[in-house]
Each structure stands twice: as C-alpha cells, then as structure tokens.
Amino acid sequence: MLRYALGRVLLAVPLLFGLSVLSFVYVRLIPGDPVTAMLGVNSNPTVVAQLREQFGLDRPLPGQYGDWLAGVLRGDFGVSFRSQMPISTIIVDRIPATLQLAGAGLVVSLLIAIPAGVAAGMRPGSRLDSLITSATLFGLAVPAFFLGTLLMLLFALTLHLVPSQGYVPFADDPAQSLRLTLLPALTLGLAISPYLARLTRSAVVEVAQEPFVPFARAKGLAPRKISVGYVLRNALPSLVAALGLTVASLMAGSIVVEALFNWPGTGRLVTGAVTERDYAMVEALLLIYGGLFIVVNLVCELAQSLLDPRVRLT
C-alpha cells in the first residue's frame, strides 16, 4: 500500500509543477504586458514602469518564476493588480462560501445520482433503465443557469419559500445561511447529478455481470440487499475514482451558479478577475483550481486502492 501511495504521489508532483509553470507562463503570454493591458494603451509610462517594478515584471523570467513559486509555497500569491490587496487574503475570504455551496451541491447530487444509477444499472435495458437514461440525457442538456432560473422563478419569485439571491456566513446566522444555500445547492446538485448517475450506472452494470450476483439471487437474498450490500459495495471503488473527476464539473458549475445567485465565492472571483484583467489573480486561481483538482483526484485514487486492493497491482 505504502509503495503504491508513494508512486501515486510522485506522479502528482510533476503534474503540480507543470501546472505552476503553466499558470506562470499564462500571465506572460498576454500580448504586450499585464500592466499596459490593465491600465490601457494610453497610460502614463512612469506609472507603468513603477507598477512593473512593483510586481517584479522587469526582472528575468526564471528569477520571477522562482520567487513566485517560493511565495506560493508559503501561501503568498502576490498582490492583486486591481485592488493591491494580497491575493491569498482575498481568496481565503471567499473559500467558506464556495465550500458551503460545493459541499451542499455534492450531497444533493449524490442523493439523486446514486439511487438512480443503481436502479438503472441493476437491470440494464429494462424500462426503468431507459427512463432513467433518457432523463440523464435530458438533464445533461439543461444548463445550470437555466435550471437555476427555473428554480428561482418557482421557489423564490412565485411561491416565496426562500430568498432568491444572497449569502450570509453560516457562523453569523445558521438558519438564514441554510435557507439561502438551498436554491444554489439544489441547482448545482441537479446540474451535476446526470454525470454522476451515468458514472454510477456504468460502474453498477459492470459489477452486476459478475457471477456472484445471480448466485445471491438464487440464494434468495432480497433485491435491496443484493443491490446495496453486494453490487454497490463492489462498485464503490470505481465510483470513488469517478467522483474525483466530477470535481471538475462541480468547479465549473459553481462558477455559473455563483454568478446566478450572487454568491460571493471563488467562482465570482474567476469571472471578475478575467473581466477586470487582474492577471495575478487569474494566475493564482488557475493554480488553485487545477491544484485542487489534482490533489482531490490523488486522494480519490488512494481511497479507491484502500477499498479495492486489486487496483494496487495494475
């Protein structure tokens, strides 16, 4: 196990390093330079030179990269080109809101996708399967913002059950915070569940073909016991690995959902940074989102190998 885990971690390191180079090079790819791009072509040359020096843009690239990476490893992403505030402070401020949304969204999607995927995968080709499969195909076609608008229209603007937009930190007012989380989380969860349901279905279909399933049936075990205790348990390792990939849709989905519900998370930061041409911020966000994706997938792979030791051998 230890050897396997070490191997996986060692594979992730060059990936993270490559990602850091990519994020760094990204900002230097900007036609002209970031400061001119930010201030406009007709900006005062002295101000430009001053800012370039302040951001360290006038030094050789490898040196800049080294300093930047050393800073990143200490949790210092530099200063925002826009607000002149430390980027790490701005991002750390936004993380609780995004985690709250993503976590709640993930719970919603698991509650929908796992039962649906298991029900469809246990009897491939059945009527229930084709119903669920066409529902997922339709669900995949519904954009998160469209779904969110529908939900907002129904639950907030027509039935007045929940507020339509806004965010309150959980620590300040737990009840109101949860009420406000309801719609965005439902939107995000519903938007992701078709992917997850399809992944679950294919994992379940594969396991359901194993000989122990007809054996369990012949033994007279209850269908529920077979699907949950036998099939789902054996599909769990591949599900955990698939969950890691779902994080990408969770990230992309939260960018859109945050914009729709005026949710002050890191997703808003992404859109804002690109619109305002705050390249230091875009650089940091690319690195954080990509790094998070790599790390989450690493953790999922390790969890998969704990659940199914056979994985370690391949």
Partner 1 sequence: MKTQVAVLVTEPRPAARRRVPLLTTVGASLGLLVLLTIVIGPWLIGQDPYAIDIGNRFAGPGGAHWLGTDELGRDVASRIAYGARATALIAVGAVAIATAIAIPLGVLTGFLGGWVDLVVTRVVDLFFAIPSLLVAIGVIGLFGASVTTTVLALGLSYWPFYTRLIRSAVVGLRSRPNVDAARVLGASRLRVIRTEILTGLVPLVLVQTTVLLGFAILDEAALGFLGLGVQPPQASWGSRLAESREFILVHPELALVAGVPIVLAVFAMNLLSDSLRDRLDAKRTG
The residues of the shown chain that bind partner 1, judged by CB under 8 A, are 14-15, 18-19, 22, 26, 29-31, 130, 133-134, 137-138, 140-146, 149-150, 152-153, 157, 164-165, 248-249, 251-252, 255-256, 259-260, 270-271, 273-275, 277, 279, 282, 285-286, 289-290, 293-294
Contact 165, 83 (CB under 8 A): no
Identify any residues that bridge with 86 across adjacent strands, giving them in sequence order.
79
Nearer to partner 1, 1 or 25 (CB): 25
Which residues have a Cβ under 8 Å from the Cβ of 91 and sit 6 or more positions away? 77, 266, 269, 284, 285, 288
Whose Cβ is closer to partner 1: residue 138's or residue 215's?
Answer: 138
Q: Report in angstroms how near the CB of residue 56 gets to partner 1 at its nearest.
A: 20
Q: Which is nearer to partner 1, 197 or 255 (CB)?
A: 255
CB 185, min distance to partner 1, A? 19
Q: Which is nearer to partner 1, 156 or 182 (CB)?
A: 156
Q: Which is nearer to partner 1, 103 or 223 (CB)?
A: 103
Residue 38 CB contacts under 8 Å (≥ 6 apart), including other chains: 81, 82, 277, 278, 279
Alpha-carbon 107 to chain mean position? 13
**Minimal distance in Å, beta carbon 216 to partner 1?**
28
In whole angstroms, the minimum distance from the beta carbon of 267 to partner 1 comes to 9
Count other C-beta atoms under 10 Å from residue 225's C-beta: 10
Residue 180 CA to residue 182 CA, distance in Å, equals 6
Measured distance CA(180)–CA(188) in Å, rounded: 13
Q: What is the nearest approach in angstroms of partner 1 to the Cβ of residue 138?
A: 6
The distance of closest approach from Cβ of residue 253 to partner 1 in the complex, given in angstroms and rounded to an integer, is 9
Query: Considering beta carbons, is residue 77 or 230 the nearer one to partner 1?
Result: 77
In angstroms, give the least distance from the CB of 282 to partner 1.
5
Q: Which is nearer to partner 1, 114 or 270 (CB)?
A: 270
